[in-house]
Amino acid sequence: MPLIASSAASAASAATHLASGSPDPAWWAQGIWTSELAKGLPAAFVALAIGLVAAVIAWRQARIAEAKLKLDLFEKRLKVFDAVWALLAASHVKPGEPDQTVAAFYAQLPNAGFLFDDSVRTYVERIRGKLQELQHAAESLRVHHESRPAYPMSDEMVVFNREHASLMDAMHQLQAWFLEQAEPCRAMFATHLSFGKWR
């Protein structure tokens, strides 16, 4: 019975407030809160939109930075390949390679170790070893040519011709090795310079 009486009293109080035109304070406060919430919704949506735009911009900037890093790496690797290719192309043409070609190759040797894996580094080091052999053979041939005997029909000339033929044969074998490296060189560098890898 007390509960029923309390409910009736609350209902009567509410009716009295409505009849008098004076709203209940609790109801009034709730209405104000709802109104303020409605006013804050546009600002919340704007903040959310700004956050999404900022996230998209940050993602695109990250992609651009990654693409730039890949491009820089590609260009540095391409310089190593160009130096190696130029050396291979020049070494089988004549015994004495152009100093600029050799200098460019040696300048890229450290980069080959930093920018590629062990297989490429080992291959480039092998080329360096063959280059040194070729340079030594060219120098030996030059020195030997300067010691050419004065008399063509002498025994010394026979020995000279035999030694000269041996030096020339060694030179030709080294030049042939460089000439044969066109396809192995392309295959060795292809996995690191293929455009499909950089997409």
Q: What is the 3-state secondary structure (H, E, C) of 157-188?
A: HHHHHHHHHHHHHHHHHHHHHHHCCHHHHHHH
Name the pLDDT band for 15 (thresholds 50, 70, 90).
very low
Name the pLDDT band for 199 (thresholds 50, 70, 90).
low
Report the pLDDT value the prediction gives residue 100, as an integer from 0 to 100.
85
Name the pLDDT band for 5 (thresholds 50, 70, 90).
very low
What integer best gives the mean pLDDT of the chain?
A: 77
Name the pLDDT band for 93 (thresholds 50, 70, 90).
low
- Domain map of the chain by residue range? 72-198
Q: Which residues contact 189 (CB under 8 A, 6 or more apart)?
A: 77, 81, 84, 120
| Rounded CA separation 124/120 (Å) | 6
pLDDT tens per residue across span 22-68: 555 554 445 555 555 556 566 667 677 777 888 888 888 888 877 78
CB 149 within 8 Å of CB 157: yes
Task: Tell me which of 3 and 91 has the higher pLDDT.
Answer: 91
Report the pLDDT value the prediction gives residue 95, as an integer from 0 to 100.
53
**Residue range 144-148: mean pLDDT, rounded:** 81
**Residue range 157-185: mean pLDDT, rounded:** 89
Report the pLDDT value the prediction gives residue 108, as an integer from 0 to 100.
93
Residue 162 backbone phi and psi in degrees, to 5: -65, -45
| Rounded CA separation 87/128 (Å) | 10
